[in-house]
Amino acid sequence: MTKSSAEVAGLFNAAPAAASNAPGEIYPGYPGLVVANGSIRSMVWGFPLSLKSKKSGQPLKPKPVNNARTDKLSQFFWRDSFEKRRCLIPLTAWAEAEGPRGSMTRTWLSLPDAELFAVAGVWRSSDEWGDCYSMVMKDGTGAAAEVHSRMPVILRGDQYPIWEHGSAAEALTLCELPYQRDIKVDRTTVPWVRTGR
């Protein structure tokens, strides 16, 4: 996210967030910007998944589940959020890992005709992190499929109200539409590791 929360608010005609960590790179388990209920809000990226240690049976630190597959939205973990709390996730680009395990590099994907765009998301409140969100992913197509088997559900401006306020069936239809615009792929030599955190 290379745009400020004020720039995001202007594009999405939403009230700006009181505080956010944009611009910058967003990692699972860290705050990012979403558009929810007409406002730009800062939420943690990823729904917390609590697991127990196989050895001791003790609870482990929650793991952020940052992507919801479209074919899993009807399952318990996602269903309530998909039916009641959908959001827009503003992006300037998203990253995927490419290459052999242990030496993966960062590949950026973006829209060549849009400096800022939105992808589909769902959100909920959690005891662990407060409000949190997850990106909705579909099968990759075109240039995106050459990088990864899945890609975000990219929404056009006229689809924002349907995603946020339409029925679950209408929202699911948006997930199933084939993505037909160009996607810019920028392969780098930057290692697939977190930076700046």
- Report the domain count for the chain: 1
User: What percentage of residues in the chain have a pLDDT greater than 70?
Assistant: 94
Confirm whether 125 is domain-assigned.
Answer: yes
Report if residue 105 sits inside a domain: yes
- Strands 130-139, 150-152: pairing kind: antiparallel
- Residue 179: the pLDDT is 86
Q: What was the pLDDT predicted at 197?
A: 41
Contact criterion met (CB below 8 Å) for 38 and 15: yes
Contact 131, 125 (CB under 8 A): yes
* Structural domain range at position 183: 5-49+58-191
> Long-range pairs for 150-156 at CB < 8 Å and ≥24 separation?
150/67, 150/69, 151/109, 151/179, 151/183, 152/89, 152/91, 152/94, 152/119, 152/120, 153/70, 153/119, 153/120, 154/111, 154/117, 154/118, 154/119, 154/179, 154/181, 155/88, 155/117, 155/118, 155/119, 155/120
Tell whether 177 is covered by a domain. yes
In the chain, count of helices (H) and strands (E)?
Answer: 5, 13
- Cα dihedral 83, 163, 120, 6, rounded to 10, equals -120
197, part of any domain = no
Give the pLDDT of residue 18: 54
Q: Residue 172: what pLDDT?
A: 96
DSSP secondary structure string, 153-191?
A: -EE-GGGHHHHHHS-HHHHHHHHHSPP-S--EEEEEEEE
Question: How confident is the model at residue 55, as a pLDDT?
Answer: 80
Mean pLDDT of the chain: 88
Give pLDDT < 70 ranges for the chain.
17-23, 194-197
Residue 63, domain member (yes or no): yes
Q: Does residue 171 belong to any structural domain of this protein?
A: yes
| pTM, 2 dp | 0.89
Q: For residue 196, is it within any domain?
A: no
CATH number at residue 155: 3.90.1680.10
Helices (H), the chain: 5-12, 76-84, 142-145, 160-165, 168-176
